[in-house]
Chains A and B, each alone.
Chain A
Amino acid sequence: MSLQQKANEMRKLVIEGIYQAKSGHPGGSLSICDILAVLYFDEMRVDPAKPKCPNRDRLVLSKGHAAPALYAALALKGFFPKEDIKSLRNIDSHLQGHPCMNKTPGIDMSAGSLGLGLSSANGMAITGKYDKKDYRVYAILGDGEIQEGQIWEAAMTAAHYKLDNLTVFADINGLQIDGPTLEVMNVGDVAKKFEAFGFNVIKIDGHNIGEIKNAIEKAKNTKGCPTAIVCKTVKGKGVSFMENQVGFHGAAPNDEQYKIAMEDLEKEVAL
């Protein structure tokens, strides 16, 4: 299966989980599926049989509301059965509304409250350097999320400690709960901001598998500073009526919408 197809399978699981749960965040989950597909199926050194392996690569989903996308990647990778996705947000499920590292195998850091994750990723990267381990750390941030001040405290820390084992993905989908980021709180030129904070910055199309792969490769070859991959993405990517629709930040599809969404994603596979 190609990485594109993996991403598409993940999108189907995202829709399935949120449809079954009747709640969740499809928009921001669908925008990061391609990034996660490359990370989990091409790049990251992880082993579903040893989810706590000390020398594994780590991922912090700082925009924790996109949990369904991460769950989809972990399920397809074999950390837990695909069927579990249907239990998303249920009282008996290990799949919480936002990621919980003590409940779900493969989750490296609990998340949900925005702005905390880059700091935790820094902590992992600093520890990796201290322990002289070669694992890499990835953090995925939302563009709404970077309105949180702690992100920039953490950006300062990452550069100060020269965390070249850290790669940050900024998911720039342009929308947040109350509307376009431009209107709610303009985050401006995110690439320039990270550059000013001392990052190696790479701008890409966050849905182009080749560009994602190349950017990760460049990040791995960059020494002495962290890398920020600033990804232009489409919120709701892959589902026609969700794309660029702020209303689907945190709304589940109804029966009819579920059918259309799955049809859309079947077509994508056919392509």
Chain B
Amino acid sequence: MGIPTREAYGRSLAKFGHDKEFFVLDADLSKATQTIFFKNEFPDRFFNMGISEGDMTSTAAGMASCGKKVFTATFAMFAAGRAYEQVRNSIAYPNLPVVIGGTHGGVLIGEDGASHQCVEDISLMRTMPNMTVIVPCDAKSVECLVEKAIDFKTPMYFRTGRLATEDIYGDDATFEIGKGNVLKDGTDLTIIAIGDMVYEALEAAKSLEKEGVSVAVIDMFCVKPLDVKLVQKYAEKTKKIITAEDHNIIGGLGSAVAEVLAENPVAKLKRLGVKDSFGKSGVKKDLQEYFSLNAKGIIDLYKQM
């Protein structure tokens, strides 16, 4: 088991802070978002804004307007939910180079329950003009994508999770904004996944391979702009696609892929996600079973295709 993606976010900011000058803002959650790693190294470039996510977001815009790269961090619920309008009008409309860090995304954050389990953030951010949406699946991908984000010139939403994830990538991994990564090739089914569900997709692929099904797995860490060419290529190649995400089934990765396939219907599609409901308290494993956000959930969907 690797480290949580939120921890990788904080550690990566601290790592790259040595060579690049950027600001980090937090709203009294630096120990949870793990920006504390950056704060400890670079206290003069870390600004705690107190419990005021809206103020933090518009403040970041003012800094960015003066030529500074800015990373914010708070829970996805507050980053994309509470401060939605500040993200839209202070950052996205002026097209400023701010990375909006949303940690604790999805229902698999565990025990805190529905008030903190944001299942709408990808949807909210994806529909916003000028916004790029990134959802890494492990520590290595977070590190690589934070490094890319530092030099990124326009707004970006960067979603991470709370609990430890399995390591997916090795040291030679590469990432390009606007592209998906094919982790495994196959001919009968393509699973397109993000975040924690990438590991589950690989596990599902292993099981299905044993039954003679050839499965491709794509990590679509960049939900927007979506790698439309890759989706179309695998739609034509495998004729069956399953999307998997810890997010509402409405508006997220599944919807993005469905939009592509609706205009070019060359493959059958099933979407795995939270079925338009709020989350609930529980440990990760129990929540995965409750919401079918696991390999079994993917396999069950495949059997229906």
Contacts and interface: CB of A to CB of B under 8 A. Distances in A.
Contacts of B64: 123
A16 interface: no
B54 to A, nearest CB: 5
Q: Which of B44, B62, B64 has the most CB of A within 10 A?
A: B62
Contact of B65 (A100, A108, A157, A161): A108
**Interface size for chain A: under 10, 10 to 19, 20 to 34, or 35 or more residues?**
20 to 34
A44 to B, nearest CB: 16
A89 to B, nearest CB: 17
Interface in B22-67: 23, 44-45, 47, 49-50, 52, 54-67
Contacts of B47: 126, 161
Interface string B58-101: 11111111111000000000000000011001100111000000
B65 A124 contact: yes
Nearest to A135: B66
Contacts, number: 99
A121 B133 CA distance: 27
B140 to A, nearest CB: 32
Given A101-B94, A102-B94, A116-B89, A122 B65 contact: no
A127 interface: yes
B88 to A, nearest CB: 8
Contacts of A123: 58-66
Interface string B290-303: 00000000000000
Q: Which of A109, A121, A125 has the most CB of B within 10 A?
A: A109
Contacts of B23: 127, 130
Contacts of A31: none
A113 interface: yes
A156 B62 contact: no
Contacts of A4: none
Interface string A50-66: 00001000001000000
Interface in B206-228: none
B95 A127 contact: no
Interface of A is mostly: helix
A110 B90 CA distance: 7
A154 B94 contact: no
Given A54-B66, A127-B23, 20 more contacts: A100-B94, A109-B61, A109-B62, A109-B94, A110-B94, A116-B58, A119-B57, A119-B61, A120-B90, A123-B58, A123-B59, A124-B63, A127-B66, A127-B67, A128-B66, A130-B44, A149-B54, A150-B52, A153-B50, A157-B59
B89 A122 contact: no
Interface in B152-168: none
Contact of B62 (A113, A124, A131, A149): A124
B85 A119 contact: no
A183 B95 CA distance: 38
30 contacts: A54-B66, A54-B67, A100-B93, A101-B65, A102-B95, A109-B61, A109-B62, A110-B89, A110-B93, A110-B94, A112-B89, A119-B54, A119-B56, A119-B58, A119-B62, A121-B62, A122-B62, A123-B61, A123-B63, A123-B66, A124-B65, A126-B59, A127-B23, A130-B23, A153-B50, A153-B55, A154-B55, A154-B58, A156-B52, A160-B50
